[in-house]
Amino acid sequence: MKILLPADVIRQGVERLAREITVAYQGEPLTVVGVLTGSMVLLADLIRQIELPMQVGLVQARSYRGNATLPGALTINAQMLPDLRGRNVLLVDDIFDTGRTLFELLTQFDELNPASIRTAVLLRKQGRSEVEFDPHFVGFDIPDEFVVGYGLDFNDHYRNLPYVAALEPHELAPESRP
């Protein structure tokens, strides 16, 4: 595994994101919605540093299943969402890869009549977007590699790593999977 972003670099990036978000909302109350499960670590670190009145919700959206390395059909479970009507909503996800997950979530959230919707991601993969949309707040741009750590997983492993690492091709091979 090749470390792309050490823990101290991620910490600094999350602090920067929190400052940018705090300034953008200028003291307005905020509803922060984390996309499960990948955003859990980012969400926890980010909300402790955003200096705004807020409520927090969760939505489950999955396009990767098991040991897949390519996204499949998106499934969404919004049962843990607070009422978004009239609220400023910040949708937080771990990675902007093809962009399909965030784009679909934005489309569905828009139907819930929020005052505004913006997005924040820890990582944006270069050269992979399949949508005409870019996240509002981005922690880091990374190369097109399969990454794990800081909430991101491969076959439900590696989420607990304090850094972001790219798995090598041999680590993605079926015989080496955890």
Q: How far is residue 1's CA from residue 4's CA, in Å, rounded to a whole number?
A: 9
Q: How far is residue 14's CA from residue 19's CA, in Å, rounded to a whole number?
A: 9
Can 97 be counted among the known catalytic residues? yes
The gap between the terminal CA atoms of the chain, to the nearest Å, is 13
- DSSP E strands: which ranges in 27-176? 30-36, 54-62, 75-77, 88-96, 116-125, 137-142, 147-148, 164-166
Whether 163 and 6 have beta carbons less than 8 Å apart is answered as yes
Nearest to 117 by CA among 130, 127, 103: 103
Task: Single out the catalytic residue among 97, 110, 144, 156.
Answer: 97
Kindly list the catalytic residues: 97
